[in-house]
Amino acid sequence: MPIQTESNLIKKFPPYLFARLNAEKLAARRQGKDVIDFTMGNPDNPTPQPIVDKLIEVVQDKKSHRYSTSKGIPALLKAVSRWYDRKYGVSINPYTEAVSVIGSKEGLGHLGLAVLNRGDKVLVPNPTYPIHHYSVIIAGGQLVSVPILDGPEAFLKALFKAHAKAKPRPKMVILNFPHNPTTVSVEQAFFKEIVAWAKKSQILVVHDLAYADIVFDGYKSPSFLATPGAKDVGIEVFTLSKSYNMAGWRIGFAAGHAKVIASLARLKSYMDYGIFTPIQVAAITALDSPEENLRKLAAIYQERRDIMAAGLNKMGWPVEKPKAAMYLWAKVPPRFSKMNSLDFSMMLLKDAEVGVSPGSGFGSLGEGYVRIALVENKDRIRQALRNIKKLFS
Ligand SMILES: Cc1ncc(COP(=O)(O)O)c(C=O)c1O
């Protein structure tokens, strides 16, 4: 008998969709091609200097080199509480209602294991950011997929219908607004309906607020926890990756329902020793930083959005301008509509040296779309537009 190298669980993870695209990207770069890369939501701007300075200051303190605390140092959890109060008027008890996570991907990944039992059903948007699906798979749960492409009202209807139809009844729903990849965004009233329904149906709500601050044209993205009663039915997860350009630092937090937070914190205490203390302290500087910085950051993405959307529309690739998030979510252009989203993305990479993500990587209903992450500067966006235009002439 050969040694066993794959669990049944690991077999459920298809080779990462982006693997083929990444291999192609790497090959192109090896040939000296300058790929303009809009594939990942990986912010290209640097972390603000005061946050970097704080990390350097704290790392010089030899006491900071020891194991940290898995739940998050108290000063960070207090900063989370201040952050919620300042931004959303939400009161969070730092000792019982907040936990730090090693990026929200890790937090969401482990959440399923902390709160679900094998076979539990979970309502998840389709398409969506992959960990929303895989958190359920990792925990041995069953996905109940809810179409999101037609906007918030249609999503809400589909959600209630899918819940009513599913047997046994789903235990949890994972939401994410502003949504990756579709950029669908909601108003506070949406969460009021969610909270009322969740109370009635006794379903746990998990809201991923990754793009809270990447908002355009005066739009404000609501916090789920700002809805009265939300803490009784759910939690919210936030990442510092996007708002503070800290993607590589791996830090975020979850807050809300005390028992859910306690379960996640307990699981994590068996899994990790917490984020490196200097990173946790620097995260406090980030969370306490002026809102003005966030508006400047959003303005950078807004300008990129405008240039990209105007350029694509002009060449005959119809795209809409999103209200929030750092993406354009676009149908494969009409003249290439016979291609699936992966083949179209591969062609853009080969023939235009432009990388985008195929929509099918985010779920079956993402087929026919691509996601363009606005993580290249204005000049490179203009260059990408010139390259793409050649395919349209
Ligand atoms: C919706 C959403 N949630 C979570 C994440 C991951 O964030 P983190 O860097 O905190 O793991 C991303 C990253 O793209 C995202 O788009």
pLDDT digits (tens, 9 = 90+) for 327-369: 999 999 999 989 999 999 999 999 999 999 999 999 999 999 9
- Alpha-carbon 81 to chain mean position: 21
- pLDDT, position 15: 74
- pLDDT, position 338: 94
Per-residue burial over 96-130, b = 16 or more CB atoms within 10 Å of its CB, e = otherwise? ebbbbbbbbbbbbbbbbbbbbeeebbbbbbbbbbb
Q: How far apart are CA 117 and CA 41, in angstroms?
A: 31
Mutate to test the pocket of ligand 1, among 42, 236, 241 (most ligand atoms within 8 A of CB): 241
How many angstroms is it from 208 CA to the middle of ligand 1?
Answer: 8
Nearest CA to ligand 1 atom 15: 210
Query: Which residue ranges have their beta carbon within 6 Å of ligand 1?
Result: 41, 103-105, 129, 176, 180, 208, 210, 239, 241, 247, 252
- pLDDT, position 257: 98
Q: Do domains 8-46+292-392 and 49-289 have the same CATH topology?
A: no
The DSSP call for residue 324 is: B
Kindly give, in sequence order, each residue whose CB lies less than 8 Å from that of residue 236, ignoring residues fewer than 6 positions away. Answer: 206, 207, 208, 209, 223, 224, 225, 230, 254, 255, 256
**Which residues partner with 331 through β-bridges?**
369
**Domain topology for 8-46+292-392:** Aspartate Aminotransferase, domain 1 (3.90.1150)
Helix (H, G, I), strand (E, B) or coil at 380: helix
- pLDDT, position 21: 84
For the chain, report the end-to-end CA distance as a whole number of angstroms.
58
- pLDDT, position 351: 94
Its CATH class, for the domain covering 49-289, is alpha beta
Half-sphere exposure of 95 (CA within 13 A, CB side): 0
How many angstroms is it from 108 CA to the middle of ligand 1?
Answer: 9
Half-sphere exposure of 123 (CA within 13 A, CB side): 32
Nearest CA to ligand 1 atom 6: 105
pLDDT, one tens digit per residue, over 359-387 is: 999 999 999 999 999 999 999 999 999 99
How many angstroms is it from 246 CA to the middle of ligand 1?
Answer: 11
- Alpha-carbon 212 to chain mean position: 10
Contact (CB, 8 A) for 216 and 323: yes
Helix (H, G, I), strand (E, B) or coil at 206: strand
Contact (CB, 8 A) for 356 and 372: yes
Q: How far apart are CA 250 and CA 101, in angstroms?
A: 8
> Among the atoms of ligand 1, which is closest to the Cα of residue 105?
11
How many angstroms is it from 386 CA to the middle of ligand 1?
Answer: 30
Q: How far apart are CA 30 and CA 24, in angstroms?
A: 10
> Among the atoms of ligand 1, which is closest to the Cα of residue 252?
10
Spans of the chain below 70 pLDDT: 16-17
For the chain, the domains span: 8-46+292-392, 49-289
- Which residue spans within the chain are E strands per DSSP? 36-37, 98-101, 121-126, 142-147, 172-176, 204-208, 234-239, 252-256, 327-331, 354-355, 357-358, 369-373
- pLDDT, position 16: 66
Nearest CA to ligand 1 atom 13: 41
Nearest CA to ligand 1 atom 7: 104
Residue 145, both tokens: 């997929």
How many angstroms is it from 334 CA to the middle of ligand 1?
Answer: 30
**Cα pseudo-dihedral 111, 117, 120, 125, rounded to 10:** 10
The DSSP call for residue 140 is: T
Q: How far apart are CA 4 and CA 46, in angstroms?
A: 43
Q: Exposed, middle or buried by CB within 10 Å (0-12, 13-18, 19+), for 188?
A: middle
- pLDDT, position 1: 86
> Among the atoms of ligand 1, which is closest to the Cα of residue 247?
9
